[in-house]
Amino acid sequence: MIANILIALFALAILCFFSYGDIKAKFIENKATLSFIWFGMIITLFFHSFRSSMLYFAFAAVIAFLLWQYGGIGGADAKVLMAIPFYLGFIGIAQGFTCFIVFMGIFAVLGAIFGIMLKIRKNKVEVPFVPIITFAFILYYVWFFLVYIKII
């Protein structure tokens, strides 16, 4: 459990750094996002279920590719979204499915809300999605600790 908390805090720090870059310059280095993916794979080898993380990485890759292909998100946003399953703390495939669906549901709702708000408010089409992914990550871990760890 301590390892999950430390991994989540590490990922959150990196996501905050990426969010700042996405908001400020609308750019995140490819080396940084790819390193985030590779580091997540290495963490998964030691602390999580590698098989389930790879399965949901593949699902996230398909979703991210489709969103990127149809102009919904940028390339860096897609790579960050693909890395997220490695940091969600899957123990097995069944639990991973629930966790993955919850995270993607939170992401979809937040993305729709923020996208509509920015479109209406600023008539802006480009939405920095890494901050939305970061916020979804925070809400996911609140849910995860309340449901699976039963802190409260």
At residue 151, the pLDDT reads 53
Look up residue 58 and give its two tokens.
């593949």
At residue 91, the pLDDT reads 67
pLDDT at 94 over 90: no
CA–CA separation, 84 vs 137, rounded Å? 8
How confident is the model over 54-77, as pLDDT tens digits? 888 999 899 999 988 987 788 888
pLDDT at 38 over 90: yes
Burial class from Cβ neighbours inside 10 Å (0-12, 13-18, 19+) for residue 55 reads: middle
Whether 99 and 93 have beta carbons less than 8 Å apart is answered as no
Quick one: average pLDDT of 114-143? 78
At residue 83, the pLDDT reads 92
pTM for the model: 0.83
DSSP conformation class of 90 = -
Band the pLDDT of 152: cuts 50, 70, 90: very low
Residues 6+ apart with CB under 8 A from 96: 49, 52, 53, 55, 56, 85, 88, 90
At residue 29, the pLDDT reads 87
pLDDT at 118 over 80: no
Query: For residue 15, what are the CA distances in angstroms to 11, 88, 95, 121?
Result: 6, 13, 23, 26
